[in-house]
């Protein structure tokens, strides 16, 4: 069982000092995929970094600029290109002259459509000024940040480690309020599980997700996160043991305890799990694994 943390105290537009080096301003964009809204983090004093400025909401830009009044924004750090994380980077750069850091997506993946449309969507216009796809370090007086490539939720996802506080800004890679949606083709379960272990290996004291409160008991939480993914895959294998099935048939049963508004997202994560299990040789699909494919246990296909 994942020990979710969902208690977060804030007011929209207000700037809260949440650690010696970290401030947070929450955007007014709550929803089933954003929880209470996008938490934009400001790191440092004097010369500061802004992490995930969020959706292009003029009132949120105003709140960020008010929070850094009298200071200089030198770095804008983006975890990934979803529209609740990166679109405000351009307006914030225009207002401050800061450099945008992140990782561009190699290609323009198609938007999800119809039944499986994701609420957040993609920010196809996102282009960092400087790429951190391979990792790297950025700093200013008083703070040092290491970019950690964490593909999985998206192919270009980055986490940012704040060395002075042994903390990590995890974007959507690890969230306290919910599990992370993995949406193929840009999202990849195999990459995600590998990236999860990479964050676990750092032994951070605190994780700061873009949505929701911080995670303080880090290692047990990540362990539970990984165990949950394995349990979901075991459930898929158990269901397929009864015979071939399609994702649309399995979601209502395997996610019966989940808000139905999240079933389209669950179907995308299940597709990611199917692709992962097919790579492992545990299941097979009719043709290439896809959202409408029929899946069966590999042993039953022999």
Q: What is the mean pLDDT of each run of 10 residues along the chain (302 residues)?
A: 96 98 98 94 98 98 98 98 97 98 78 45 90 98 98 97 98 96 93 98 98 98 97 96 96 92 88 97 94 89 45
Domain region containing 235: 226-301
Q: What is the pLDDT of residue 120?
A: 62
CA atoms within 13 A on the CB side of 32: 13
Is there a single domain that holds both residue 147 and residue 293?
no
Q: What is the pLDDT of residue 115?
A: 41
Looking at 168, 191, 221, which one is the last position of a domain?
A: 221
Looking at 221, 245, 276, which one is the last position of a domain?
A: 221
Contact 146, 135 (CB under 8 A): yes
Residues contacting residue 68 through CB under 8 Å, at least 6 positions apart: 42, 48, 50, 96
For tokens 């938490």, name the residue. Answer: 39
Is there a single domain that holds both residue 181 and residue 282?
no
Contact 23, 15 (CB under 8 A): yes
């Amino acid at each position: 069982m994942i020990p979710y943390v969902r208690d977060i105290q804030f007011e929209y537009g207000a700037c809260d000092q949440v650690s010696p080096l970290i401030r947070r301003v929450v955007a007014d964009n709550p929803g089933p995929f954003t929880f209470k809204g996008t938490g934009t983090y400001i790191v440092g004093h004097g010369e500061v970094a802004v992490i995930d400025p969020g959706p292009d909401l003029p009132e949120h830009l105003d709140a960020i600029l008010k929070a850094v009044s009298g200071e200089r924004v030198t770095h804008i750090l983006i975890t990934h290109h979803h529209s609740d994380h990166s679109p405000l980077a351009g307006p914030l750069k225009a207002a401050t002259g800061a450099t945008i850091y992140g990782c561009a997506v190699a290609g323009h993946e198609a938007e999800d459509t119809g039944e499986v449309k994701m609420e957040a969507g993609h920010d196809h216009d996102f282009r960092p000024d400087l790429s951190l796809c391979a990792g790297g370090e950025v700093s200013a007086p008083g703070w040092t940040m290491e970019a950690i490539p964490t593909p999985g939720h998206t192919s270009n996802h980055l986490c940012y480690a704040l060395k002075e506080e042994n903390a990590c800004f995890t974007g959507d890679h690890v969230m306290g309020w919910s599990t992370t949606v993995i949406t193929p083709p840009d999202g990849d379960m195999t990459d995600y599980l590998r990236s999860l272990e990479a964050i676990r290996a750092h032994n951070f004291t605190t994780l700061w997700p873009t949505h929701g409160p911080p995670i303080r008991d880090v290692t047990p939480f990540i362990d539970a996160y990984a165990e949950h993914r394995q349990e979901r895959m075991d459930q898929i294998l158990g269901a397929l043991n009864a015979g071939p099935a399609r994702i649309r048939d399995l979601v209502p049963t395997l996610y019966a305890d989940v808000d139905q508004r999240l079933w389209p997202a669950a179907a995308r994560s299940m597709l990611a799990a199917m692709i992962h299990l097919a790579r492992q040789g545990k299941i097979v699909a009719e043709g290439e694994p896809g959202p409408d494919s029929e899946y069966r246990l590999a042993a039953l296909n022999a």
